[in-house]
Every structure is written in C-alpha cells, then in structure tokens.
Structure 1
C-alpha cells in the first residue's frame, strides 16, 4: 500500500473531477484555497481522505489529483489511474513505480493511459 497516490489528468475540468467524487465516494467537504487549487475530503470504505486538486500542475493542461492518504481504495498510482480513465475518459498519467525515498527509478519514467494506448513512457 502506498503512503499516498498522485495522478495527472489531461484537459479535465475540476468540476468534472468533483462530480466523479460525488458519484464514487461520499464527499464530506470542499474548499477552494486559490483559483487553481480545490481541496476536498472524501470518505472511502469508512476512511476520510484529503484530496488536493491542482490545475496547471504540469504545464497548462494537466491537473494533479493528490490523495493524501494510505487508505485509498487502490493498491498504487496505476490502479487509481485506470479507474479514473475509465470514469472520466481523459488521459491520465502517473509515476510508473510509485514514489520511494530511496528508489532508483527514473524520474522521467511515467505510465500513460489514453484512448489509444496504455503503458510506460518518458515524460520530460
């Protein structure tokens, strides 16, 4: 189980992400600390999970969705990315191996899911 999960969605409006949270989980609270940042708390399987949605996190078109908990319903970033792609239909990218403090992974090695393909690629 990862300590947290972070994915990036391409050209996906925050309101569409919020609607998905409302359909998939219990949305406990929502705030907008800034024009580009929305924070929500969702409940999944009895666990409250804080989520930060940050627009323009990677270039102008990518929005970061950061689940700040090890209690998410997914085993890793890739399993989360797969569900988000199926639900929202927009390209999803995530770290290929998950974050490890001491890891030897290539920081540019990512996993991409879109309507044409799924698999590892270099994002730089």
Structure 2
C-alpha cells in the first residue's frame, strides 16, 4: 500500500475534488464544505484509492489530504504537493520524506510551496 500526504492551507470548498478530477478516475469526494473529516474514493490505473481530508491540522488553518492505494498518481509527497500548488494556488506543505512514525519532530523540516517558491522550513 502506498500513501501520499500533503497539507493545504486555507482550503477552498471543492478545490481538492476539482484538482483530483484531472488525475483520477471515478472520483467520489464531497469536499464542498470541509468542516469535518471527509472520506472519498477514486480509481487510478484501475486500482481503488482511498482519499481522506482532515481539517484543522497544525493550528486549524491546514487540511491534511491523504491518498492511499496500491498505486498513486505521484511518486512522492513533494510531487503531489507541486501538482496541488499549481492547481490551488495556496500554500501546500509536505514532509521531506525521511520522517518515520514515532520519531521526534522538533527540528523537522517540511517542504513549503507557495508564491515565494519551494523551501524547507520548520513548521512553527
């Protein structure tokens, strides 16, 4: 099972489904209002994907997007974040890819993509 996870700042209603509709088949995701956890499904290369939106991540302004399945449309979180940023034009963050569950995150750098470009930053 592969997964991608990105964080979207100030998510606009319908933005995720509008973006993912260009990359996935049979998308079922009701993101017209993201005030609670939202679950959806889609297909990519014939395989079923699970899509989850978790609002209120990291200080309430970010929504976590998780895409899980046997195959996913991007090779890594940063590629997914780049695609999302181009489509949504709002700040997107993601892990640099080397963090593992259970490791400390005090000094962890995250990728931040926004109008200033791509930078590795400490979240806070």
Same fold (TM over 0.5): yes
| 1:70 to partner: Cα distance | 4.6
| 1:30 to partner: Cα distance | 3.7
State TM-score, norm by structure 1. 0.81
Q: What stretches of structure 2 of length at least 5 have no aligned partner?
A: none
Quote the residue 2:18 is aligned against. Answer: 19
| 1:3 to partner: Cα distance | 3.0
**What is the root-mean-square deviation of aligned Cα atoms in Å?**
2.6
Quote the residue 1:115 is aligned against. Answer: 115
Q: Structure 1 residues 54 and 14 mapped into 2: Cα distance closer, same or farther (>3 Å)?
A: farther
Distance, in Å, in 2 between the alignment partners of 1:84 and 1:69 is 18
State whether structure 2 residue 43 is matched by structure 1 residue 43.
Answer: yes
Quote the residue 1:84 is aligned against. Answer: 84
CA contact (8 A) 1:77 1:98 kept: no
| 1:53 to partner: Cα distance | 0.7
CA contact (8 A) 2:2 2:72 kept: no
| 1:110 to partner: Cα distance | 0.5
Aligned structure 1 segments of 4 or more residues deviating by more than 4 angstroms: 101-107
Distance, in Å, in 2 between the alignment partners of 1:82 and 1:30 is 21
Number of equivalenced pairs: 122
Q: Structure 1 residues 42 and 30 mapped into 2: Cα distance closer, same or farther (>3 Å)?
A: same
| 1:86 to partner: Cα distance | 0.8
Q: What stretches of structure 1 of length at least 5 have no aligned partner?
A: none
More helix, by proportion: 1
CA contact (8 A) 1:14 1:53 kept: no
- State the SS of the aligned residue for 1:86: helix
